[in-house]
Structure 1
Amino acid sequence: MNLSLPSSLSVKDGHLFCGGADCVELAEKFGTPLYVTDEVHIVENFRRYEAALKQYTDKVQLLYAAKANENPVIMQTLAAEGAGADVFSLGEMQAALDSGMPAEKLLFNGSSKTEAALRAAIEKGIKISVDSVDELRQIDLITREMQKTVKIGFRCNPEIDVPTHPKIATGIKNSKFGIPAEMILDAYREALSMEFVEPVGMHCHIGSQILEVEPFGIACGVIMKV
């Protein structure tokens, strides 16, 4: 069987190497199970992704999904490259800040934000991706109490079918995630009437393990129409 390995992995004399390090030797030294991360490969991926987007616009800010791996070294490495972070909790928020990522490069996301986490995001000047109209109204109450302005985006549910398992499809009709596309404009108008809420963008996430490009193009089309 022929294996297709990422560029950071190789096999020599029956041993797997990661970033030039012999994984057998690492296992013998540190024990197993063992997680091995190639810093160079992470940086290369980040730069390649950023360069691809910058072919079309200079307004590019990549946000690392902190839920993927909160390892401080990984987050510090990405912070040094200029990355921000997509955070889902107070813990992820603090991990991103501790890594050197400035608050203005963070986006607080998720469908189950606690009041404490919302207050922390507002206090620190972190942008919030609003997941529902109820959440928008909660943010309005908090900002009026705190007398602090917060920048927000709206998570749009494009309500499209995607080629992945239904349990990890987040942009389908009746999904609990996001505001349906046809309701975004009303939510935006409501936000404009709020003294300390500043709408600045849109957000969309349609699912995981999607291996085709077409669904992302369809989702972008929905957002552009909004």
Structure 2
Amino acid sequence: MELNLTLPQGNFILKNSAEKDDFVIAAAGGRKPELLWFKKAACGKKIYCADRGIEICFDAGFKPELLCGDADSTAPAYLKKAKDEKIKALLFNPAKDDTDLQLLLNNLPLKNNLLITGIWGGRFDHLYSNVFSLCSYKKRTNTAVIMADEQELMVLLAAGESLEFTAGADFKALSLIPLENSCVSLSGTRWSLKKAELLTSYPYAISNEITSEVVKMSCHSGFAGFYLKTAGKELL
């Protein structure tokens, strides 16, 4: 299937085996996205929140489908608003094994392609858990998964999947992240790749530059991330 997704950073065409052509958006409890970016990215999509992610959802004027987590980092005023507005909530004891994001992923409707924000920033252990939990979600559901805010973005690609990206902003870097040992191709950049091996033990495809209107990436085997860093804190 060919999926189209337009974000403030630009337009993606994703070619994969997803069963649906629409996206839902999830907001996790990491770095809070810029308000205008979130409004544009979430417009017209169903929204699901993990713990503190409900704050950006309410700030943007949206009503989420679900709040999931232990509520240990959410401001009390937002929890009260969720209760007053009768938002469906699955709340857990903070002394739990799963992270708030993992709990949310286990309660999302199956087969929905996922745009998720509130992933970046903060501690490395949180980011590591977030990324690999989302890799597992993608493999389990056979869906498209994109992690994004106005500063950073990463598209997960499994074997046999590809993308085309048309930039709508300036970028500081484009990197390919091997989340498993992978074979990839890349064009439209300063340094192109043709069926190149990317190893988790030697991730060298870092800080590339966009040189063409359209960037293309294919993941021939393995599992890899297509990562973009905007040129400034805010989109230009």
Taking structure 2 as the reference length, the TM-score comes to 0.33
Select the structure of larger CA radius of gyration. 1
Q: Which has the higher contact order (CA 8 A, sep 6+)?
A: 2
Structure number with the higher strand fraction is 2
